[in-house]
Amino acid sequence: MKLTGFELRWITMPLVAPFRTSFGTTTSREVLLVRAVTEDAEGWGECVAMADPFYSAEYAEGAAAVLRDHLVPALAAAKPTHTPAVAGALAPVKGHRMAKAALETAVLDAELRAEGRSFARELGAVRDRVPCGVSVGIMESVPALLDAVDGYLAEGYVRIKLKIEPGWDVEPVRAVRERFGDELLLQADANAAYALSDARHLAALDPFDLLLIEQPLAEEDVLGHADLARLIRTPVCLDESITSAASAAAAIRLGACRIVNVKPGRVGGYLEARRIHDVCAAHGVPVWCGGMLETGLGRAANVALAALPGFTLPGDTSASGRYYAADITEPFVLDGGHLPVPTGPGLGVAPDPDRLADCTDRVEWIAV
């Protein structure tokens, strides 16, 4: 594998509807794409960092700066012969996992395309389709929430995740459970909006038999999650707190979670995501694949990851139409509550040139 250079491409993707969480409302997705070019192929990676540092410390322009000034030069100097060596070449740069993930994914996609191997095969997928859940943002009213959930269930989604925050938690969860019954796979996502002092209030969610409550406390508060897990019956799932296989192992050992949400961008890439899967599987801890409003490029990689054996809960790998009226790749379309795992070389999908041009804001080339 001989690298020629990298393209940084900024695109803007309007959402079909505003998406509100405890840390803000998103109406369009400003996405940084990375294209790796080698002598034999090209590959794509999607940086999941948001436009602003509200979900995490990383943000798109910061990711571009660290890619341009540090990560790409480090990779060029190392001259890795295969993708597993990329992480080691980037290790001297602390943090910046979302930028690293985009770079590693682009290189891996290029390598696999050149060799005619699929992302799913490389990761160890055991299924050719994966069940899909959908994440439902905070709404202006409970009736509006019920209408939204009704629509998603009619589309075939097999699991509903409700975003919650103080003041929007027990009432909407109760309403959805009462309206759609005990058979509905239902979970809640707090995005770190609570404190341990809210344990009694969060325990009020226990009667609704949720699959899990996701990241109720701050990402740094792993011990607090361990304490909370002993105070409520609803299984605690960690998201933002899990940044590596080592942090997953520590959280499990502390009793801070019974379930783990794996987001490849958050942990530095799909190879580290696979290591987290392996650690959790060894401890009997279920995992599922989270989403970051990805385009079809990131969605293809997430669907491949979700086909690994330890991903036993439906993830946030929703259809393209959940977020975008027009994706930059062939759209992912729900079929019986499932999405197919791409089987072509690399990610198995590629951007449509016309669609990509339509939504591109600017492009930068970095030769190596």
Contacts of 367 (CB under 8 A, 6+ apart): 4, 5
Clarify whether 100 is annotated catalytic. Answer: no
* Whether the Cβ atoms of residue 6 and residue 35 lie closer than 8 Å to each other: yes
* Whether the Cβ atoms of residue 245 and residue 279 lie closer than 8 Å to each other: yes
Q: Which of 2, 100, 161, 263 is catalytic?
A: 263
* Whether the Cβ atoms of residue 341 and residue 129 lie closer than 8 Å to each other: yes
Structure tokens at 321: 């139409």
Cα separation of 26 and 28, whole Å? 6
Clarify whether 94 is annotated catalytic. Answer: no
Structure tokens at 281: 């599987």
Query: Which ranges constitute the DSSP H helices of the chain?
Result: 60-66, 72-78, 86-90, 97-115, 119-123, 142-155, 170-180, 199-203, 222-231, 245-254, 264-267, 270-282, 296-306, 353-359
Per DSSP, the chain holds a count of helices (H) and strands (E) of: 14, 13
Query: What is the set of active-site residues?
Result: 163, 263
